[in-house]
Structure 1
């Protein structure tokens, strides 16, 4: 098998395509969450705390700026994404749960079948 045909076989597997779709959707979801946190949640939290703009929270050390407000905002985004992923995984696991399979009837040997027939005949007498 050539390198390209092997790569084609790998790339066309369902798991790889599912993974690619998941990455694209995840990136779009990340942008939505980022926008939600940046435009809605953090301003509301800032108002509740006392008109604090989290983007503006920083500490200057010499010429460097340590922007801990952006870090706080990123932590909030992470928590929201992690919670959403938790809910999705929980829903998928709930759908995957199957009813426990009924125990299969044991396969009887010829000797066991004959013994059962003898037992049944003795019961009838």
Structure 2
């Protein structure tokens, strides 16, 4: 038998929760939920009235009827397609995606690109310094060989 003790389920779960990725994900979900309220307010307060300038202010009321009449109930009731609610959800998604991209993703990508360029410049400067030191050492060696060759002629 080996003395290797397996971690308990609780210890494994605790280690999983303490990873940075889980914490980051939890923060992102909370921020996303709060941000959803802002986007919904923008859609209901700005987008819907603008769309309502050509129709109704409530996008959910836009619909089409496939068969029969959609006004009645029962056997002769038609099939109603609620495309207005899909349009409203699509607008909410586009607004959310554009705000996240332009206010979060794009600035972070530019920041990371600048950081990578700075790091590359530092590495390039270090490489140039190492190359120049190597060149200086080669020149010293060549000078020593030349001086030794002038004083003695044994080759």
TM band (smaller chain): 0.7 to 0.9
TM value normalised by structure 2: 0.65
Alignment of 1:40-119 (within 5 A): 40-47=46-53, 49-51=54-56, 53-61=58-66, 62-87=77-102, 88-97=104-113, 98=115, 99=118, 100-101=120-121, 102-103=123-124, 104=127, 105=130, 113=137, 115-119=138-142
TM value normalised by structure 1: 0.78
When the two structures are aligned, how many residues end up with a matched partner? 119
The separation in 2 between residues aligned to 1:85 and 1:94, in whole angstroms, is 14
Tell me which structure has the larger Cα radius of gyration: 2
Q: CA RMSD in A?
A: 2.7
The separation in 2 between residues aligned to 1:52 and 1:25, in whole angstroms, is 29
Query: 1:60 and 1:14, CA in 2 relative to 1: closer, same or farther beyond 3 A?
Result: same
By relative contact order (CA 8 Å, sep 6+), the higher-ranking structure is: 1
Structure 2: where are the runs of 5+ without partners? 1-6, 67-76, 151-155
Query: 1:60 and 1:8, CA in 2 relative to 1: closer, same or farther beyond 3 A?
Result: same
CA deviation profile, 1:37-64 (whole Å, cap 9, x unmatched): 02321112221x2456422111234354
Q: CA deviation at 1:8?
A: 0.5
